[in-house]
Homo-oligomer: A and B are copies of this chain.
Amino acid sequence: MVDVGILGATGYAGEELIKILLRHPQVRITYLSAKIDKPTPISKIFGYLKGRLELICELPDYKKITSRCQLLFMALPHTVSMEIVPQILDSDLRIIDLSADFRLKNIKTYEKFYKVKHKSPQIIKSAIYGLAELYREKIKQAKLIANPGCYPTAAILGILPALVTEMVEPDFIIIDAKSGFTGAGRNPKPDFIFSEVNENLKAYKINTHQHIPEIEQELSKFCKKNLKINFVPHLIPLNRGILETIYLKKKKDFNLPEIISIYKRFYKKEPFIRVYEENSFPEIKNVVGTNFCDLGFYTETKSEFLIIVVAIDNLLKGASGQAVQNMNIMCGFKETEALL
């Protein structure tokens, strides 16, 4: 039995972590904290937890964290994690950080996109990017995991196999991303209230979204070239799920069965990747509530273009599900435990 804590327990990702971990037979939640006025039972904050989890949620107390937990999930806003990690890194704790603070290896890029000075640059190098499909072996031993962002998870899993097999041009990547609204967090901005979002649709942060350098970093690493992508995210009036429609330029001619078989081979041992057959495409409702990443494909022999559709649940494979997948790998549990 591993004792785990959650910082940021009242956000969407933290809430989702609680739900998953309550189903996990080898784990016990022993500490919860959040930015909160006064210590409050978590079952008062989330009514449905009444009778299932009786823990107090409070402001973070480093002593309690290190004494009560063996593994810590940090589901905090960007720029908060980097202040806390140095305080607790010397303990025996293993840490899975869901923020962006330790994902980007290039500090200047981080500071440009997140518009703050990085406060713990010395720690970045040791953090492992927690995309199990790429870095499973490193994750096993990791002390600090930088859990991937939601858009990057879908984008990297969708593009990488075609890129490393040199089926597509690295200089021509267009990602048209659509996200459900929990992706924006529990943030009471005027633009986020129900009647502004409902029955509306818009693009935002065109080619300037902070997830762009994360996608570029990982794809570049595998094709040995500094890629630039086009990335246009859209907010959709639904709660959960990301659908990315990706447009790539073929480097050589191939047909649909060929590309599908490349992806099947690439992911053949992956428990959470599902490659669709011809003429069927991922939908958000097929992945919501699951840790799956679904992939579908379109091309024609005469066409220069390859179109890939990727779907994940932004709160599961795009955040908390993936974080638990990483915990399972780190602790030697079955990788799919509590996730199927």
Contact = CB atoms under 8 A, between A and B. Distances in A.
A305 B230 contact: yes
Given A48-B287, A178-B234, A207-B307, A281 B202 contact: yes
A175 B232 CA distance: 13
Contacts of A287: 48
Contact of A194 (B234, B237, B245, B288): B237
A200 B230 contact: no
Interface centre among A51, A181, A182, A245 (most CB of B within 10 A): A245
Contacts of A178: 178, 201, 234
A154 interface: no
B188 A193 contact: yes
Given A176-B245, A190-B188, A206 B238 contact: no
A48 B201 CA distance: 15
A199 B238 contact: yes
Contacts of A48: 285-287, 290, 292
A57 to B, nearest CB: 15
Interface of A: 12, 46-48, 50-52, 174, 176, 178, 180-182, 184, 186-190, 192-204, 206-207, 228, 230, 232, 234, 236-241, 243, 245, 247, 274, 276, 280-288, 290, 292, 294, 298, 300, 303, 305, 307, 309, 340
